[in-house]
Amino acid sequence: MVDVKQALKEYEDRLPSSILKEVEEHLSGNISKDKLKKIMQAIEDEYDSSQAVPGECVGIVSAESIGEPGTQMTLNTFHFAGVAEMNVTTGLPRLIEVLDGRKTISTEMMNIFLVKPYNEGKDIKRVAESLKELTMNDFLKEVVVNISEANLKVVLDKNKIELLKISHSTITDSLKKNVKGFSFKLEKDDSITVTQSGKDKDIIQLYKLKEKLKNVFIHGVKGITQVLPVKKDNEYMIVTAGSNLKEVLKQDFVDGKRTYTNNIHEIEKEFGIEAARQLIINELMKVIEEQGLNVDIRHIMIVADAMCMSGKIMGINRYGIVKEKPSVLARASFETPIRHVINAGLTGESDPLNSVIENVMLNQPVPIGTGLPGLIVRTKPK
């Protein structure tokens, strides 16, 4: 009889803790020392054999394993998130977008989970609408420029105001907050008079403001263009088009632990690079599985690791990970050679020739597989 926990301590530096934990869960307390040793030996052997061999070219194997099924993908498929009008880019375009690490993605989307009373359907419509971005354009009926008095008369659409349940004073307040250099006054007939603060009255400025006014943010969360409350697995949640993780997380009805956006850069900014890495893996796997293809997750993990290894997200292109390659020749062999060669010439870069492409260029054995090991020869006999 041994104390399993104590006995497993000795394997801590050889096996990952998750495996040890699993072993501990499965073994009962009354097990002989010999038996435990045998089991642990088998686990260790299995663990070692499932590791990649030194010199194994995992990167290219990953590239081929993702690239080949990629050729079978149907182009431009859209996935409908429940209801029409909410279609999200998937398929090859999405795959390329994620791998490129693009800042602006073609369809931003959020799944907002809610905390207790709201996820049971309480006020779901109102909660959802409160997130939607509303600009002045949603309320405007007309804007009249009064040249003689040098002011603007903004007439609001009564029907829309009633529909969206925003009061006139809220609009005036947010106008005051968001537009500098002008003063706003709510008149008795519910129109807003805009005059230039300060002494100089400039009609041209007023005309410019007339156009600018349309895009002034009034209410909701910036960037969220559409909201859609849906019921999923006995729980209410909100699907949105457009994404603004930072602001959404500030709302008290949002369950921040589960809320999700498909914008990798936003996740990176809010939760850090490890979260971004996980999102890349999730997004890529989602696309691949949607297409009915089968790619091992470890290939995707390598790609995600490569994209995140520097602490910021880098795309798989000449602006991203290729730029970070230490070898001049390797960089020059990909897409824009002249810039790299000239910069290397200016700064006197040196290339130690220790990766694959350079050695192919020089026709030397590549340091991969059989080309990796070297021989150490003892020149003098002992």
Binding residues for other proteins (CB under 8 A)? 55-57, 60-61, 63-64, 341-342, 344-345, 350, 356, 360-372, 374-375, 377
* Shortest Å distance, C-beta 259 to other proteins: 40
Give the number of other CB atoms < 10 A from CB of residue 377: 5
Site of tokens 């009255």: 201
Site of tokens 């909201």: 227
In the bound state with other proteins, the residue whose beta carbon lies nearer, of 179 and 366, is 366
* Shortest Å distance, C-beta 365 to other proteins: 5
**Could you tell me if 75 and 271 are in contact, meaning their C-beta atoms sit under 8 angstroms apart?**
no
Distance from C-alpha of 186 to C-alpha of 128, rounded to nearest angstrom: 28
In the bound state with other proteins, the residue whose beta carbon lies nearer, of 123 and 349, is 349
* Shortest Å distance, C-beta 92 to other proteins: 18
Say how many Å lie between the first and final Cα of the chain, rounded: 49
* Shortest Å distance, C-beta 161 to other proteins: 34
| Contacts for 266 with CB less than 8 Å, ≥ 6 apart | 243, 244, 245, 246
Structure tokens at 10: 């000795």
Structure tokens at 131: 């997130």
**Could you tell me if 159 and 201 are in contact, meaning their C-beta atoms sit under 8 angstroms apart?**
no
* Shortest Å distance, C-beta 141 to other proteins: 28
Give the number of other CB atoms < 10 A from CB of residue 55: 13
Local structure of 229: helix, strand or coil: strand
Site of tokens 């009373």: 117
* Shortest Å distance, C-beta 222 to other proteins: 37
In the bound state with other proteins, the residue whose beta carbon lies nearer, of 73 and 209, is 73
* Shortest Å distance, C-beta 293 to other proteins: 19
Local structure of 230: helix, strand or coil: strand
In the bound state with other proteins, the residue whose beta carbon lies nearer, of 49 and 104, is 49
User: Quick one: how many helices (H) and strands (E) in the chain?
Assistant: 17, 12
In the bound state with other proteins, the residue whose beta carbon lies nearer, of 29 and 374, is 374
Distances (CA, A) of 289 to 17, 184, 318: 29, 54, 28
In the bound state with other proteins, the residue whose beta carbon lies nearer, of 157 and 351, is 351
In the bound state with other proteins, the residue whose beta carbon lies nearer, of 30 and 347, is 347
* Side chain identity at residue 69, one-letter code: P
Query: Residue length, the chain?
Result: 382
* Shortest Å distance, C-beta 358 to other proteins: 9
In the bound state with other proteins, the residue whose beta carbon lies nearer, of 57 and 150, is 57
* Side chain identity at residue 238, one-letter code: I
